[in-house]
Chains A and B, each alone.
Chain A
């Protein structure tokens, strides 16, 4: 296997979604190729960073507006049940 071919298989390898026979070839190449080892490691870390990254905090006034709007819309589309009505 050449570096070029490894690159093409990189996704499947990193995602653990690779044919075992191909995986064996790939790991054989990796064992003898430092640049490819480092690239694989860099990619794994890149994904880890993004998966673990912080979320943006929606501004509080926006959240309040959103919840108010959703409650209003909910009431329009879900008429109140009638079990609290006065029963004759």
Chain B
């Protein structure tokens, strides 16, 4: 956040009972929380529910926010839990930790090999100016398995540390790293197929010696 001191001040004023300060915090973060929620739950109406639940819960628990983490991290934690609850409810599973303790994928140590390897035709700044890019980014995200998607969102989009991501999701740090690598590789593959310059395509050396 550009202005950490101003934000800390808002948090203190909100805690002291100033509604305007709390609303300012909501205004600052509602887009980000709504976006995160939407990317996890995929359905706009569910994203609204998650966003509403997040800020209601923040209001209720503001006094318990001990400011050891950034306010954004604290909100992200609340929103992620609310979003995962929606996903579980949708699947009809009453309560299962995202961890699913013995996920073989997290321990096999093997990651998919990059297949389409090529330089991109344009740099990210140029790509971001295009509408199609945005659509493709969202599509690629939604194709990711949920357990990889959430880790990628928290770590690479929201900027939480590996440790914070692990803590939010109840995972070990090494689980987070494995899932993050899979997420990054899968997104790379998908985006490079779209943005890659075929003429620069190279073949990986699958050296198994």
Q: Which residues of A line the B interface, CB within 8 A?
A: 2-4, 7-8, 10-12, 14, 33-36, 38-39, 41-43, 45-59, 62-63, 65-67, 69-71, 73-75, 77-78, 81
Roughly how many angstroms separate A53 CA and B209 CA in the complex, as a whole number?
41
Residues of A within 8 A of B157 (CB): 50-51, 53
Roughly how many angstroms separate A39 CA and B120 CA in the complex, as a whole number?
11
Interface residue SS majority, chain A: helix
Q: Are the CB atoms of B117 and A42 closer together than 8 Å?
A: yes
Residues of B within 8 A of A66 (CB): 26, 30, 51-52, 55
Please choose the segment from B15-23, B74-82, B91-99 that sits at the chain A interface, where 4 or more of its residues have CB less than 8 A away: B15-23
Q: Are the CB atoms of B30 and A58 closer together than 8 Å?
A: yes
The residue in chain B whose Cβ has the minimal distance to the Cβ of A58 is B34
B124 at the interface (CB under 8 A from A): yes
Number of interface residues of B (CB under 8 A): 60
Residues of A within 8 A of B188 (CB): 39, 42-43, 46
Contact flag A11-B177 (CB < 8 Å), given A38-B119, A42-B191: yes
Q: Which residues of B line the A interface, CB within 8 A?
A: 17, 19, 22-23, 26, 30-32, 34-35, 38, 44, 47-48, 51-52, 55-56, 59-60, 109, 111, 113-114, 117-120, 123-125, 127-128, 133-134, 137, 141, 152, 156-157, 159, 177, 180-181, 184-185, 187-188, 191-192, 196, 200, 202-209
CB distance from B163 to the nearest CB of A (A): 11
